[in-house]
């Protein structure tokens, strides 16, 4: 019943009208409100990214709220996280620092030695810096890094409920709950605003987790009318293009659309308040899609590329499409600059506003993004060892350095070692059963159980097999990063240049990986279970 074309709900029609109206006569305030709409596991998926020359899932998903924000602000076509793992990715965003500089929250579910000095203790963080500049600050739903970076748990606002985090489950069980869930989003935001002083600027971070697994199988079609068969020929070549994977991806896109609808509710509230145009709005996610090979936990574009749009009328020129690579570590310096202050945390990110202002110059941007990771699932590898990787993403190339190529990048095979045939029910429910850095999913289960089939060699190679010490991809000829050119003598000069650039940045920023510090205490305490 929900697969039919849906009439636009009243909240959505009102929101579009607000966005389509002329700018408010009053100029943006000196200290704008700042709203960050930041979904868990949200890769680079929005209908604004659809490109007739490159078929992709963006041709299928519908994100009218993101698209309209992008049309009235700046859309970034190549935005990347510092690390494709939630805790360190969020830490990097809220500090503006490369993830490896953030001590105990540079890895998921830190295994930091208890009582050991922690470099993160000296970090203030962007939200608290804004609070010191007069802002009311708060967030809803996932945080996943020390709460002191948001001024403590009293800044968490979800009194109306958290059902947006289980959207497909709730609405599949009772279709009428769709509007109720969106009203919870509204009421949580209203509760945050109720604690604001009159005229006080605010920073609010909306962090739902519905795009993180698990979601209801078949919900993409049932709730959003996304026909999985329309994805045929549009998936990246490192995913099997079969009915199981297409349905799985369609369900993921449904969650993307649910997030988009929730963003619309928050922006509608800003419009009702008359403060939409006095607000710097940013929309993004903490890394790529979960449960798919090459997604979450991978430094390649499918795992580390995210959507990003910024809207601030009068300060950010409308209709911009930024092609230069940027990193989400740039958001903290940008937000603080908008508020007229700076970070005390020695950030690595760049203030984006000069390049985005009317008459700004995109060439002033840094032009590259540094991506990497250490630990995601703690027990993914024997001895709780990380998978250390660093990468440099430029406009034309992706260079990857795998520091420990003898380790399994997605975790040890465990139940899928050799010719073992794990139980499908176990694989469906237990991420840690095999290749633990790939979330449990129908796609993962199918691939593990069918890995002996002919024709899957490329999928397995890029999904979980061990990787060489260096990878080099020429994006003009290979946008999906399939053909590693690192061993090609014709590209030796490019390889050397990118290697030198990456290592110089790691040395300048004192990356603990250069001394293998992530493999031992205090970064890795094997006594913690």
pLDDT, residue 29, reads 47
The Cα–Cα gap between 500 and 470 comes to: 13
> What are the tens digits of pLDDT across the range 35-55?
999 999 999 999 999 999 999
- In DSSP notation, 445-480 reads HHHHHTTTSTT-HHHHHHHTS---SEEEEETTT-TT
Cα–chain-centroid distance for residue 156? 21
Residue 111 binned pLDDT confidence (cut-offs 50, 70, 90):
confident
The Cα–Cα gap between 205 and 141 comes to: 9
Q: Which two tokens stand for residue 234?
A: 């549009």
User: What's the mean pLDDT when you consider all of the chain?
Assistant: 93
> What are the tens digits of pLDDT across the range 388-419?
999 999 999 999 999 999 999 999 999 999 98
Which residues, at least 6 apart from 87, have a Cβ–Cβ distance to it below 8 Å? 105, 107, 108, 109, 110, 144, 145
The number of residues making up the chain comes to: 529
Beta bridge partners of 281: 35, 311
Residue 379 burial (CB count, 10 A): 15
Q: Which two tokens stand for residue 441?
A: 């999913």
Task: Please name the helix (run of DSSP H) or strand (run of DSSP E) that holds residue 371, with its range, or none.
Answer: strand 369-373
Residue 487 binned pLDDT confidence (cut-offs 50, 70, 90):
very high
Backbone angles phi, psi at 170, to 5 degrees: -65, -45
Reduced to 3 states (helix: H, G, I; strand: E, B; else coil), residue 51 is strand
Q: What average pLDDT does this structure show over 100-118? A: 92
Residue 8 binned pLDDT confidence (cut-offs 50, 70, 90):
very low
Residue 528 binned pLDDT confidence (cut-offs 50, 70, 90):
low
Long-range contacts, stretch 267-275, CB < 8 angstroms, 24+ apart: 267/15, 267/18, 267/19, 267/35, 267/65, 267/69, 268/11, 268/14, 268/15, 268/18, 268/186, 269/186, 269/189, 269/190, 269/193, 270/33, 270/35, 271/14, 271/15, 271/18, 271/19, 273/193, 274/24, 275/33
Lowest-pLDDT choice from 145-159, 198-212, 269-283, 312-326: 145-159
Angle between helices 442-449 and 243-273 (to 10 degrees): 160
Task: Please name the helix (run of DSSP H) or strand (run of DSSP E) that holds residue 322, with its range, or none.
Answer: strand 320-322
Closest-CA residue to 60 (of 221, 169, 293, 300): 221
Would residue 397 be called left, alpha or beta, if left means φ above 0 and alpha means ψ between -120 and 50 degrees? Answer: beta
Which residues, at least 6 apart from 480, have a Cβ–Cβ distance to it below 8 Å? 236, 237, 238, 301, 302
Could you identify the residue written with the tokens 């958001």?
Answer: 331
Evaluate if residue 494 carries a pLDDT over 90.
yes
Evaluate if residue 332 carries a pLDDT over 80.
yes
Q: Whole-prediction pTM value?
A: 0.93
pLDDT, residue 109, reads 82
pLDDT, residue 3, reads 35
pLDDT, residue 26, reads 34
Evaluate if residue 505 carries a pLDDT over 60.
yes
> Count H helices, E strands: the chain?
15, 14
Lowest-pLDDT choice from 75-84, 227-236, 427-436: 427-436
For the 32-361 domain, the top CATH level (class) is: alpha beta
Lowest-pLDDT choice from 285-294, 329-338, 421-430: 421-430
- In DSSP notation, 173-211 reads H-TTHHHHHHHHHHHHHHHHHHTSPTT--EEEEEE--TT
Could you identify the residue written with the tokens 């998936």?
Answer: 235
pLDDT, residue 23, reads 36
Residue 421 binned pLDDT confidence (cut-offs 50, 70, 90):
confident
Q: What average pLDDT does this structure show over 174-192? A: 97
Burial level of 239, CB count in 10 A (0-12/13-18/19+)? buried
Q: What average pLDDT does this structure show over 515-523? A: 96
The Cα–Cα gap between 449 and 240 comes to: 13
Evaluate if residue 107 carries a pLDDT over 80.
yes
Closest-CA residue to 480 (of 411, 369, 398): 398
Q: What are the distances in angstroms from CA 67 to CA 46, 62, 77, 257, 277?
A: 7, 9, 13, 12, 17
pLDDT, residue 422, reads 87
Q: What average pLDDT does this structure show over 492-496? A: 98
Q: What are the distances in angstroms from CA 493 to CA 300, 472, 499?
A: 21, 11, 10
Evaluate if residue 497 carries a pLDDT over 60.
yes
The Cα–Cα gap between 346 and 32 comes to: 23
Q: What are the distances in angstroms from CA 346 to CA 341, 349, 428, 509, 518?
A: 13, 9, 43, 11, 22
Reduced to 3 states (helix: H, G, I; strand: E, B; else coil), residue 367 is coil
The Cα–Cα gap between 150 and 126 comes to: 8
Geometric angle at alpha carbon 395, from 390 and 398, rounded to 5°? 30
pLDDT, residue 28, reads 38
CB–CB of 146/120 below 8 Å?
yes
Evaluate if residue 69 carries a pLDDT over 80.
yes
The Cα–Cα gap between 91 and 107 comes to: 9
Evaluate if residue 199 carries a pLDDT over 60.
yes
The Cα–Cα gap between 176 and 173 comes to: 9
pLDDT, residue 526, reads 79
CB–CB of 298/324 below 8 Å?
no
Residue 13 binned pLDDT confidence (cut-offs 50, 70, 90):
very low
Residues of the chain with CATH 3.40.720.10: 32-361
Cα–chain-centroid distance for residue 499? 25
């Amino acid at each position: 019943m929900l697969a039919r074309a849906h009439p636009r709900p009243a909240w959505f029609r009102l929101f579009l009208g607000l966005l389509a109206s002329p700018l408010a006569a009053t100029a943006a305030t000196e200290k704008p409100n700042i709203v960050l709409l930041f979904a868990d596991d949200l890769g680079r998926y929005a209908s604004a990214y659809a490109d007739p020359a490159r078929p992709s899932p963006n041709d299928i998903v519908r994100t009218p709220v993101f698209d309209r924000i992008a049309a009235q602000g700046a859309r970034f076509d190549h935005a990347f996280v510092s690390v494709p793992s939630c805790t360190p990715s969020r830490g990097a965003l809220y500090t503006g620092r490369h993830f490896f500089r953030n001590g105990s929250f540079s890895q998921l579910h830190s295994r930091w030695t208890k009582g050991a000095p922690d470099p993160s203790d000296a970090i203030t963080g962007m939200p608290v810096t804004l609070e010191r500049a007069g802002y009311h600050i708060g967030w809803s739903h996932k945080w996943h890094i020390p709460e002191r970076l948001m001024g403590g748990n009293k800044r968490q606002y979800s009194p109306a409920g958290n059902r947006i985090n289980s959207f497909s489950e709730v609405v599949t069980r009772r279709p009428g709950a769709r509007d109720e869930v969106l009203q919870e989003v509204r009421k949580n935001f209203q509760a945050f605003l109720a604690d604001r002083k009159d005229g006080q600027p605010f920073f609010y971070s909306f962090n739902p987790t519905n795009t993180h697994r698990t979601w209801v199988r078949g919900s993409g079609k049932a709730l959003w009318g996304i026909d999985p068969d329309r994805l045929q020929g549009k998936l990246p070549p490192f995913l099997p293009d079969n009915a199981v994977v297409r349905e799985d991806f369609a369900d993921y896109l449904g969650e993307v659309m649910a997030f988009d609808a929730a963003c619309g509710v928050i922006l509608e509230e800003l419009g009702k308040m008359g403060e939409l145009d006095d607000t710097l709005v940013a929309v993004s996610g903490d890394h790529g899609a979960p449960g798919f090979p090459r997604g979450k936990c991978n430094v390649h574009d499918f795992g580390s590329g995210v959507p990003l749009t910024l809207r601030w009328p009068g300060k950010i020129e409308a209709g911009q499409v930024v092609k230069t690579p940027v990193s989400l570590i740039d958001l903290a310096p940008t937000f603080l600059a908008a508020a007229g202050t700076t970070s005390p945390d020695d950030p690595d990110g760049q203030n984006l506003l000069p390049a985005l202002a009317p008459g700004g110059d995109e060439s002033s941007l840094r032009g590259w993004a540094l991506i990497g990771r250490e630990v995601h699932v703690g027990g993914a590898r024997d001895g709780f060892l990380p998978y250390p990787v660093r990468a440099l993403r430029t406009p034309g190339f992706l260079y990857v350095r795998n520091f420990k190529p003898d380790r399994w990048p997605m975790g040890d095979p465990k139940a899928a070692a050799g010719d073992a045939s794990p139980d499908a029910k176990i694989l469906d429910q237990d991420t840690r059963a095999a290749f633990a850095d790939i979330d449990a999913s129908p796609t993962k289960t199918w691939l593990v159980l069918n890995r002996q089939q002919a024709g899957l060699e490329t999928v397995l190679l890029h999904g979980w097999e061990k990787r060489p010490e260096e990878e080099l991809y020429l994006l003009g000829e290979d946008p999906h990063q399939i053909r590693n050119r690192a061993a090609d003598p014709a590209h030796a000069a490019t390889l050397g240049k990118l290697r030198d650039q990456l290592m110089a940045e790691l040395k300048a920023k004192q990356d603990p990986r250069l001394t293998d510090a992530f493999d031992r205490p205090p970064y890795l305490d094997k006594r913690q279970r």
